[in-house]
Structure 1
Amino acid sequence: MKLYKLLSFSFLIATLTSCTFTENITINENGTGKFSVDMDGSALMEMAGDQIGSQMGADAKKDIDSTFTFKQLFEEKKDSIAKMTPEAQKELKKLENFVVTTKMSAEKKQFLMTMATDFKNVNELQDILQTASTLQKLEGGANAGPLGSGFGNNNSKLSYTYDGKKFTRKAVIDKQKLAEIKKDSTADMSKMMFASSNYVIKYNFPKKIKKVSNPNALFSDDRKSITIQYSFTDYMENPDKLNFDVEFEK
């Protein structure tokens, strides 16, 4: 299966229902680290694996265990990318080093996808999910937003900061765009589609955590990691609910 076809189909599954999205960040002592977004659509495969398999035709007869970089994908779509604006091409270039791993089995009712990249400084991740929505502009990419049409594009600007003493995750909402979407007749349909999906944040730090501004944060035994679960509806409609600060022990 061609990379773009596989990616588009994977993203299409993600726009359906009962998916868990997990945003992972691991920061090392020197400030470098790893960022990833995981999508687990196994619940959907459990409910509708046969129908999904029939849509994929011959590809459904074999399990998929695929790993590729966006750089490879962009090479496959270079003609389409050449027609994009310089601004859009610059945005796509930010995604070149992302590695996409997909595991799908209709028989095992399994569907897992991960987009991951390394970073030298967490500040490099500013608005990375919004940037990924540029994929929709690729030819034939109506469903090719990262992990679903619209995922990442929740009408906010997301930023991360870390200085060794404090970590901050902050999304600033574009209220005008959000108001326009709520007027859209498809908004209620989208809300229904994601009603049973969750957005989970899992962050790992090199230092022990003193406190977190979100009272729902769960700590690891060593107090160096936190997990916070939100509804996906909040991620899309109230992205500032996912804002929080982490302070570390000295």
Structure 2
Amino acid sequence: MKKCLTLLMCAVLISFTSCQFSENIYVNEDGSGTVKFSMDASEMMDVLEQLGENAADEMGKAVDSTIVFKDFLVKYKDSISKLSLEEQEKVKAMEDYTLHMVMDPHEKKMFFDIETDFDNANELRDMYKAMNNFNSLKGDETASDNLPLSPFSSMGNEGSTLVSYSYNGKVFKRNVEIIDVEKHQKSLDSIDKSALMLGSSKYVVNYHFPKPIKSFSKEGAMYSEDRKTVTYTVGFIAMLKDPEILNLEVVLED
């Protein structure tokens, strides 16, 4: 567990490097599927190298670890019980998620992904909210020691936006709504300070469907050979400043 915490604590440095964030949704014929967010922060390894020749060694051996939050809740139930009721609810909201982390300082690899399954695409969870809630946990030092940080929290615009999805077997939609203008403006102020560091970061959506795609609402998308997968890329800073640029509609063939 200590290695997991070490790896996740390193996520703090991610805000100072260029990363690629990916939103991957796999929809089955019956409308169920899997949603997964991925972050490739391998450039962080270059930052660590610049900190000193022994930085990689100090990070320890390569780590390839998976946290199943359902098991995590059982293992650390005593620590979690010391949190406030509100914070306990935030932890429990992650129950169905799995977090996979890989860090190899010598191979200069560092990436994370967090995923969960869904029964109906119309009920796709707002993962941004879940990840922000988890990262906002405080509690006392004893309780917090076992609680990992979320390396994805910066994707949620500090809770100022709400992301929702809908799917009726024919049309898939992704909709973003700014629900707190004041919070959003504050996030824009912080973005200006980090724009140079995150300027080359990308946000990529990869949507996989059981049928070929007839149309996609944005220009510049790429399709798989069977047209069942669509990939669309925007700048990460652009997405944070104007989250509505990822309001998308996918129409499938009959």
TM-score using structure 1 length: 0.85
Amino acid at match of 2:217: S
What CA distance in whole angstroms lies between the structure 1 residues aligned with 2:3 and 2:46? Answer: 24
Aligned to 2:182: 176
What CA distance in whole angstroms lies between the structure 1 residues aligned with 2:94 and 2:9? Answer: 19
What CA distance in whole angstroms lies between the structure 2 residues aligned with 1:193 and 1:24? Answer: 25
More divergent stretch after superposition (143-152 vs 225-234) = 143-152
Structure 2 residue 201 is the aligned partner of structure 1 residue 202: no
Structure 2 residue 167 is the aligned partner of structure 1 residue 162: yes
What CA distance in whole angstroms lies between the structure 2 residues aligned with 1:53 and 1:161? Answer: 50
- Structure 1 residue 153 displacement after superposition: 3.4
Deviation sequence 1:142-170 (CA, Å, 0-9, x none): x9663245332352100011110100001
More divergent stretch after superposition (7-16 vs 91-100) = 7-16
What CA distance in whole angstroms lies between the structure 1 residues aligned with 2:35 and 2:55? Answer: 32
Going from structure 1 to structure 2, the CA distance change for 1:52 and 1:189 (only over 3 Å counts) comes to farther
More divergent stretch after superposition (41-50 vs 118-127) = 41-50
Equivalent of 1:223 in 210, 223, 227: 227
- Structure 1 residue 55 displacement after superposition: 6.0
Amino acid at match of 1:160: Y
Aligned to 2:18: 18
- Structure 1 residue 205 displacement after superposition: 0.3
Structure 2 residue 44 is the aligned partner of structure 1 residue 44: yes
Q: Is the 8 A contact 1:19 1:39 kept in 2?
A: yes
Aligned length: 246
Q: Is the 8 A contact 1:64 1:102 kept in 2?
A: yes
Q: Is the 8 A contact 1:100 1:113 kept in 2?
A: yes
Aligned to 1:233: 237
Amino acid at match of 1:219: Y
- Structure 1 residue 118 displacement after superposition: 1.4
What CA distance in whole angstroms lies between the structure 2 residues aligned with 1:149 and 1:52? Answer: 28
Going from structure 1 to structure 2, the CA distance change for 1:144 and 1:63 (only over 3 Å counts) comes to closer
Going from structure 1 to structure 2, the CA distance change for 1:111 and 1:70 (only over 3 Å counts) comes to same
RMSD (Å) for aligned C-alpha atoms: 2.7
What CA distance in whole angstroms lies between the structure 1 residues aligned with 2:253 and 2:246? Answer: 23
Amino acid at match of 1:210: K
What CA distance in whole angstroms lies between the structure 1 residues aligned with 2:225 and 2:129? Answer: 33
Going from structure 1 to structure 2, the CA distance change for 1:179 and 1:138 (only over 3 Å counts) comes to closer
- Structure 1 residue 4 displacement after superposition: 5.8
- Structure 1 residue 32 displacement after superposition: 1.1
What CA distance in whole angstroms lies between the structure 1 residues aligned with 2:154 and 2:227? Answer: 34
Determine what percentage of the aligned residue pairs are the same residue: 34
What CA distance in whole angstroms lies between the structure 2 residues aligned with 1:113 and 1:217? Answer: 24
Going from structure 1 to structure 2, the CA distance change for 1:159 and 1:85 (only over 3 Å counts) comes to farther
State how 1:119-158 maps to structure 2 within 5 Å: 119-139=118-138, 146-154=150-158, 155-158=160-163
Going from structure 1 to structure 2, the CA distance change for 1:64 and 1:144 (only over 3 Å counts) comes to closer
- Structure 1 residue 204 displacement after superposition: 0.2
Structure 1 stretches of 5 or more lacking a match? none
- Structure 1 residue 75 displacement after superposition: 4.4
- Structure 1 residue 95 displacement after superposition: 1.6
Q: Is the 8 A contact 1:171 1:240 kept in 2?
A: yes
What CA distance in whole angstroms lies between the structure 2 residues aligned with 1:16 and 1:224? Answer: 35
Aligned to 2:92: 93
Residue aligned with 2:154, SS: coil
Q: Is the 8 A contact 1:166 1:246 kept in 2?
A: yes
What CA distance in whole angstroms lies between the structure 2 residues aligned with 1:126 and 1:43? Answer: 30
TM-score using structure 2 length: 0.84
